[in-house]
Amino acid sequence: LLGVGLIGRLSNAGLVLPGDIYTGTAERRSWTLADGSQLDLNARSAVTPYLDERQRRLRLRHGELLITVAQDLHRPFQIETGQGWIQASAGKLLVREEAQGVRLATLDAVAQLSPRGGSTYSIEPRKSVLFDRRGVLVSDPVRAEQTAWLDGWLEVHNQPLAWVIEAIRPYRRGILRLDPVAGDVRVNGRYPLDDSQQTLELLENSLPISIARHSEYWVSITLKG
């Protein structure tokens, strides 16, 4: 009972469990799954695979994944998230946790989306939808920059600084504190994920923000003035 309770707490905290596929800080990796599907994980991401003769399923525990689903019309591939389920028989899908919900991008696939407390949606190829337990919150065309992380880049088009900071957190160790007022500043640009220090310098030089480096592992960002 003690062991089961500990595993439950680790899962809820977003930590990895036995059998998980995962990446660490500033690490991106690729795997070929048992069914032939190709899985890519962004930094600090984890999934639990369930692959056998009856099912093809991944549970996204935290982070971001891109999967190229090997075609199998008899066993659709299912991705479970905290907000709902995604299903596809073939094609490429991107799934990412965000502050408001989960992002699904159908890069070249048709997917079925089933929020935990809502109706089922059919999502056409080249769509980017943000959803929560109740349903779809936003639906837009897929943007090329959504997969830039595969090549080590963060491409930003009119996003709030808070969104940018969340994207680089998995690439840094320690505390990265952002004042909520500064978090509303809009950002555009292309930033290197594998050199987060350079990314912070580029942001500081181009935005009305101040960055205080208390130590290598403690950085604070505030609005100038």
Summarised one tens digit per residue, pLDDT across range 166-184 is 999 999 999 999 999 999 9
Could you tell me the pTM of the whole model? 0.89
Summarised one tens digit per residue, pLDDT across range 186-211 is 999 999 999 999 999 999 999 999 99
Residue position matching structure tokens 């965000």: 98
Confidence of residue 16 (pLDDT cuts 50, 70, 90): low
Confidence of residue 38 (pLDDT cuts 50, 70, 90): very high
| HSE (side-chain half, CA atoms, 13 Å) at 199 | 25
Distance between CA atoms of 30 and 42, rounded to whole angstroms? 9
| Neighbour order of strands in the sheet with 111-115 | 21-22, 46-51, 56-62, 77-80, 84-88, 111-115, 121-123
Output the six-digit token pair for 102: 């989960």
Confidence of residue 15 (pLDDT cuts 50, 70, 90): low
Distance between CA atoms of 11 and 17, rounded to whole angstroms? 7
Output the six-digit token pair for 38: 């190709």
CA 166 to chain CA centroid, Å, is: 10
- What is the per-residue burial (b if ≥16 Cβ within 10 Å, else e) of 180-205? eebbebebeeebebeebeebbeebee
Q: What is the mean pLDDT of residues 66-76?
A: 95
Give ∠ CA 221-62-10 in degrees, rounded to 5: 100
Output the six-digit token pair for 158: 């009119």
- What is the per-residue burial (b if ≥16 Cβ within 10 Å, else e) of 170-179? bbbeeebebe
Report the pLDDT value the prediction gives residue 18, as an integer from 0 to 100.
79
Phi, psi at 20, each rounded to 5°: -70, 150
Distance between CA atoms of 139 and 137, rounded to whole angstroms? 7
Summarised one tens digit per residue, pLDDT across range 124-147 is 999 999 999 999 999 999 998 999
